[in-house]
Structure 1
Amino acid sequence: MRADRLIQALLLLQGRPQVTAAELARELEVSVPTARRDLDALAMSGVPIYPTRGRGGGWRLIGGARTDLTGLTEGEVTSLLIGLTQSLGAEPERVAAVRKLVRAMPAPFREGAQRVADATVRDIPWGEVQPASVSETVTTLQRAIAARRQVRIEYDGTQGVVTRELVPLVVGSRGARWYLLAAPAATEAGTADAERLRTYRVDRVLSASALAVPGAAPDGFDLAGEWARMVERVEDLRGSVRATLRVQPWAVRALTDRFGAQARMLEGEPDAEGRAAVEVSAHRIDALAEQLAGWTSVAEVLGPPEVRDELRRLGERIVERYA
C-alpha cells in the first residue's frame, strides 16, 4: 500500500542525512520512478523535505536527520527490536520487518539495534513441539548486547552454581529452549576472548545483570558461524547413541515429529506388517530408552542390543513399582 511506503520513506529520511530515489527504491522494493513519486508526494503533503541536485544529491529533511519524528527514545527502540526478535517464528515478513526497522532508525540508535538483530537467532527445534515464554534473562542479555556491556550471571552447571562475568555474543533458541554464547573479556577494553567461548543454557541461568563495563565481540567475529558450530556440536552429543525401529505406518509422523532432527526414515520396503524403518538417536542409552518407552505400542526396537536391554530393565522397574 502506498500509505505504508510513505511512512517507510519518512522513517528512512529521518534516520539518514540524505536518501536518493535509487536508495529508496531498493529499500521499498519498488521502481525508481515510483520512489520519486513517493518523495514528491511527501513534499506536497507538507513534510519538510527538499531535493538537492547534482552529483551527490538526494532528498533531505530540513534541518538534517532528526531523531524525534517518531517520538521513540533509544530505550523504546531497543525494546521494540527485542520484542520482534523474541517473537516465535522466522517467517519472511517478520525478518523483513526487523531489517526495515533497523535501517529506518535514527543513526544514533541504529548501531545498538543492529547488534540485537545480528546477535539473536531463532532456529529450528530439537524435537520441541510446544513453545515456551521468553524469560526476562533473554531480554537482559539482549539489552547488554545492544549497549555493548558485560554481564554477571549465576549459572547452575555441571560444577554446581558458579558466578561468571562474561561478554554476551549470541542469544539464540532451538525450539523453546534459549542458549547464550559468551566468553570472558580478554582485554581491559572488554573485547571477548573468542578462544574461551562457551555455550550456556538460559534456563540454567539463575540470575543475570548487566555491568557498567564494556563488552564486545572481537573484530571479524562470525556470529552466524559460531552459532552453526554450536548446533553441530550439540547435535553430535545428542546423536551419539542410535537405535533402529519398526514403526506402525500411522504413527511414523508423530514419532518423527517428536524426535525432530534426531529421527530419520531409513530406505527399504515396509515389513510384512507394513511397518516402516526409522532410526532415532540420543546422547545416552538410558535417555534413548526412556524416550522410546512411551512408543512401545507402535514401535519395536530392532537394535542395538544395549537399547533393547535398557528397555527391558526399565520395564522391570515399572513392573516392580506398580505390581
Structure 2
Amino acid sequence: MRADRLVAILLLLQHRKQITASEVALELEVSERTARRDLEALSVAGVPVYSMQGRGGGWRLVGGARTDLSGLTASEARALFLVAGPASTATPGVKAALRKLVRALPEPFRAQAQAAATSLVVDPRHWGSSQLVEPRPPPRFLDELQEAVIRGVQIRLGYVDRQGAETERTVHPLGIVAKGSTWYLVSDTESGRRTFRIDRVSSVDVTDNPVHRPEGFDLAESWREIADEVDRKRTPVEIQATCAPDGLGLLRAILGGRLEVGGSTPGGRIEIVIRGHNEYALAGELAGLIEWLDVTGPQGVRDHLAAIGDALVTRYS
C-alpha cells in the first residue's frame, strides 16, 4: 500500500460527494481490488471513510466531502499522516501531495498532522540482514509514546535494561522507529541522544513540559546514523575482496547492509568490503561464494577459507 495512493484517495473524497472503488481504480490506474483494499485501509487506520452498500453505493467521508476536510477530527487527521508519512519520504511527488493535504486541513490540526507525518520511521530489515520482516504487534505504551512525540512533550520513562536493572529518567521523545520486528523510541536525554527498546519500557508519565527538539532534526537521517553505528558495533570485522560483476546482486541479497561497494579494478572486477562478527564466521559464510569472490584480506580470513576447503575435500572427495 503506497502513501501517495492514500493521499490521492482522500483528495478525491474531498472534491466528490461519493466515489466507488472502480472510479478510484480508473483515476489512479490500479486494479479495483487494490483500490478497495486502500479504501478499507483508510477506514481501519481511523480516517472517517465509510462505504454505502447497494445500488448507487460507494465511499464517503463522514461529515460530507468538504474541501476544508472539516469532517476529520484532530486524532483522525493524525491517523492519516501516521499511515502516509513513513512511506512518503521516498518521492518528492508524495511530499507535495501531503503539503496540499496539510493546507486543506483545518488550522488547529495542521501542526500535529505534520508532526505525525515525521514521527515514525519503518526500517523493515533485521539487524545485519537484508530479510524484510513485519514488526511485532504494537508493544505496551506505544500509543502513549507516539502521542508524546506528536504533541512534543517530555516524558518520565521507566526502563528495564538488558541486565534487568530498572531506572527512571526524563527524556525528550523525538520519534518512533520500527526496525525489523522491534520498536524503538529515539530521544534526547541529559546524557545525549539515546535509543530505547519500547518492549522494555515499564512506565510512561507524560508531562506538560515541551520537548527541546534539536534544530534541523530529521528522524530518518538520525536513525540511519544510529543504525550504521549499531551495525559497526555488531560486525566489527571487515574483509576486503573483489567480486565478479554478475555476482554483485547475489551478494547484496545475502549480505544487505554489511556490504559496501567500491570502484572497479583494471581487470573489470568490483572492489567490496564485507563486515561480520569474526573471521571464522565470515569465512564460513563466504566459502560457498568463491565462484564470484576473491578475498584479498585479512590473511586470517584467507587461512580459514583454505582450511574449510581442505576439510571439504577430505570429507567429500
| Structure 1 and Structure 2 fold alike (TM over 0.5) | yes
In structure 2, what is the Cα distance between the partners aligned to 1:209 and 1:314?
50
1:285 to 258, 278, 290: 278
Equivalent positions of 1:226-305 (< 5 A) are 226-227=222-223, 229-231=225-227, 233-234=229-230, 236-237=232-233, 240-263=236-259, 264-270=261-267, 276-282=270-276, 284-285=277-278, 289-290=280-281, 293-299=284-290, 300=293, 301-305=295-299
Give the C-alpha shift of residue 178 in structure 1: 5.1
Decide whether the 8 Å contact of 1:169 with 1:216 is kept in 2.
Answer: no
In structure 2, what is the Cα distance between the partners aligned to 1:317 and 1:206?
44
Aligned to 2:145: 141
Rg (Cα) greater in structure: 1
Are 2:161 and 1:168 aligned?
A: no
The TM-score, its normalising length taken from structure 1, stands at: 0.56
Give the C-alpha shift of residue 80 in structure 1: 1.9
Aligned to 1:211: 205
Q: Secondary structure at the match of 2:200?
A: strand
Are 2:101 and 1:96 aligned?
A: no
Compared CA separation, residues 219 and 243, structure 1 to 2 (3 A): closer
In structure 2, what is the Cα distance between the partners aligned to 1:153 and 1:117?
26
Compared CA separation, residues 199 and 175, structure 1 to 2 (3 A): same
Decide whether the 8 Å contact of 2:239 with 2:298 is kept in 1.
Answer: yes
Q: Secondary structure at the match of 2:286?
A: coil
Decide whether the 8 Å contact of 1:132 with 1:177 is kept in 2.
Answer: no
In structure 1, what is the Cα distance between the partners aligned to 2:82 and 2:270?
44
Equivalent positions of 1:1-323 (< 5 A) are 4=11, 7=14, 70-87=70-87, 90-121=90-121, 128-133=130-135, 135-137=137-139, 139-149=143-153, 150=155, 152-157=157-162, 159-160=163-164, 162-165=166-169, 166-172=171-177, 179-184=184-189, 193=190, 195-202=191-198, 205-207=199-201, 210-218=204-212, 220-224=214-218, 226-227=222-223, 229-231=225-227, 233-234=229-230, 236-237=232-233, 240-263=236-259, 264-270=261-267, 276-282=270-276, 284-285=277-278, 289-290=280-281, 293-299=284-290, 300=293, 301-308=295-302
Q: Secondary structure at the match of 2:288?
A: coil
Compared CA separation, residues 308 and 86, structure 1 to 2 (3 A): same
Give the C-alpha shift of residue 83 in structure 1: 1.9
In structure 2, what is the Cα distance between the partners aligned to 1:89 and 1:269?
38
Decide whether the 8 Å contact of 1:173 with 1:179 is kept in 2.
Answer: yes
Give the C-alpha shift of residue 233 in structure 1: 3.6
In structure 2, what is the Cα distance between the partners aligned to 1:97 and 1:153?
39
Kindly provide the amino acid, as one letter, of the partner of residue 72 in structure 1. L
Number of residue pairs aligned between Structure 1 and Structure 2: 244
The TM-score, its normalising length taken from structure 2, stands at: 0.57
Q: Secondary structure at the match of 2:157?
A: strand
Which residues of structure 1 form unaligned runs of 5+?
9-65, 185-192, 319-323
Give the C-alpha shift of residue 182 in structure 1: 1.0
Which residues of structure 2 form unaligned runs of 5+?
1-7, 16-65, 313-317
In structure 2, what is the Cα distance between the partners aligned to 1:71 and 1:235?
45
Compared CA separation, residues 95 and 123, structure 1 to 2 (3 A): farther
Compared CA separation, residues 250 and 210, structure 1 to 2 (3 A): same
What RMSD in Å do the two structures reach over aligned CA positions?
4.5
In structure 2, what is the Cα distance between the partners aligned to 1:134 and 1:98?
28
Give the C-alpha shift of residue 103 in structure 1: 3.5
Decide whether the 8 Å contact of 2:89 with 2:95 is kept in 1.
Answer: no
Decide whether the 8 Å contact of 2:159 with 2:203 is kept in 1.
Answer: no
In structure 1, what is the Cα distance between the partners aligned to 2:289 and 2:194?
40
In structure 2, what is the Cα distance between the partners aligned to 1:306 and 1:197?
37
Q: Secondary structure at the match of 1:223?
A: coil
Q: Secondary structure at the match of 1:297?
A: helix
In structure 2, what is the Cα distance between the partners aligned to 1:103 and 1:134?
34
Give the C-alpha shift of residue 297 in structure 1: 1.9
Q: Secondary structure at the match of 1:306?
A: helix
Kindly provide the amino acid, as one letter, of the partner of residue 114 in structure 1. Q
Aligned to 2:31: none
In structure 2, what is the Cα distance between the partners aligned to 1:243 and 1:170?
35
In structure 2, what is the Cα distance between the partners aligned to 1:167 and 1:293?
44
In structure 2, what is the Cα distance between the partners aligned to 1:142 and 1:258?
34
Q: Secondary structure at the match of 2:72?
A: coil
Kindly provide the amino acid, as one letter, of the partner of residue 285 in structure 1. N
In structure 1, what is the Cα distance between the partners aligned to 2:306 and 2:164?
33
Give the C-alpha shift of residue 175 in structure 1: 6.9
